[in-house]
């Protein structure tokens, strides 16, 4: 098990959480009502908190691999370019309306619960520790977003129409969850068995499909083109714009800390 593979896998988790947290933070002060504004802001903070712990571990690995690099959570988060990020593409997509943001949280949180549920048993203590903490948070994210998917999908004609539109937009980005890159096999799940990701995908599909059915929403056709590549640095045009805003302070005033 090479540190380089563990480093890249840790970046994938951290980047996905950071970019999702940054994107959701755009709702702060703009939620439909105060209660929902606070709820989605707290979810954004949870994601950023998970990212920080993961970046701290990634910095340790990088400094071990490259003595003298002096990497920190800040340099990793704020001084890399878009092609160096390994976040899932769904995390960088625009928030859209309330229903689209809720559905983004719903899809990602279900994946995170699957992934962290496996990582709590990892022999890599730093990852298992983060997973144990994160699992409690994403379990809430799953419950909260599932309630809202049901409420909006099985609500008015307007809300159902918007949720169906959001589903058709976001669905092609969900199967990247279960397309493993080499660093996932060789660094983390090399002994998990060939059907590991297929089993995780089946569990995710079962949980997600149940809620979508209860919400009276229809899954897109099975032949829908699925997007992927975020895990190896291929991104949509949206990530560059997001990073330009997120990284501005650090690049304009080098040495700033969170």
Give the confidence band of 190 by pLDDT, cuts at 50, 70, 90: low
Give the confidence band of 184 by pLDDT, cuts at 50, 70, 90: confident
Q: Which residues contact 29 (CB under 8 A, 6 or more apart)?
A: 37
Q: Which residues contact 74 (CB under 8 A, 6 or more apart)?
A: 250, 256, 257, 258
Q: What is the C-alpha separation between 218 and 161, in angstroms, rounded? A: 11
The average pLDDT across 32-54 equals 95
At residue 182, the pLDDT reads: 85
Is the pLDDT at 90 greater than 60, yes or no? yes
At residue 187, the pLDDT reads: 64
At residue 258, the pLDDT reads: 61
At residue 35, the pLDDT reads: 92
Tokens for 182, please give them: 């080499």
C-alpha dist (Å) from residue 75 to 27, 37, 113, 134, 196: 26, 30, 28, 23, 33
C-alpha dist (Å) from residue 160 to 57, 103, 108, 136, 171: 42, 12, 21, 30, 16
At residue 251, the pLDDT reads: 86
Tokens for 18, please give them: 């950071």
> pTM of the full predicted structure?
0.94
Least confident interval from 81-95, 98-112, 164-178, 219-233: 219-233
The average pLDDT across 168-185 equals 91
Is the pLDDT at 191 greater than 80, yes or no? no
Neighbours of 165 (CB within 10 A): 14
Least confident interval from 25-34, 103-112, 131-140, 179-188: 179-188
Q: What percent of the chain has pLDDT over 90?
A: 78
Q: What is the C-alpha separation between 109 and 148, in angstroms, rounded? A: 13
**All domains of the chain in start order, with CATH:** 3-252 (1.20.1260.10)
At residue 111, the pLDDT reads: 97
């Amino acid at each position: 098990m090479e540190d380089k593979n563990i480093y890249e896998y840790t970046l994938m988790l951290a980047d996905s959480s950071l970019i999702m947290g940054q994107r959701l933070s755009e709702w702060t002060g703009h939620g439909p009502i105060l209660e929902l504004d606070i709820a989605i802001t707290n979810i954004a903070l949870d994601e950023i908190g998970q990212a920080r712990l993961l970046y701290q571990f990634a910095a340790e690995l990088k400094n071990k691999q490259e003595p003298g690099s002096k990497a920190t959570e800040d340099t990793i988060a704020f001084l890399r370019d878009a092609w160096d990020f390994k976040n899932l593409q769904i995390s960088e997509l625009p928030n859209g309306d309330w229903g689209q943001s809720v559905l983004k949280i719903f899809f990602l949180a279900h994946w995170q619960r699957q992934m962290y549920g496996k990582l709590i048993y990892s022999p890599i203590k730093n990852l298992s520790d983060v997973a144990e903490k994160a699992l409690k948070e994403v379990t809430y994210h799953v419950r909260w977003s599932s309630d809202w998917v049901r409420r909006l999908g099985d609500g008015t004609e307007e809300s159902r129409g918007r949720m169906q539109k959001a589903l058709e937009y976001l669905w092609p980005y969900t199967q990247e969850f279960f397309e493993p890159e080499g660093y996932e096999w060789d660094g983390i799940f090399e002994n998990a068995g060939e059907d590991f990701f297929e089993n995780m995908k089946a569990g995710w599909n079962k949980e997600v499909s149940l809620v979508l059915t209860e919400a009276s929403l229809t899954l897109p056709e099975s032949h829908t083109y699925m997007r992927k590549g975020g895990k190896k640095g291929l991104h949509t045009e949206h990530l560059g714009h997001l990073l330009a805003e997120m990284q501005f302070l650090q690049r304009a005033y080098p040495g700033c800390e969170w």
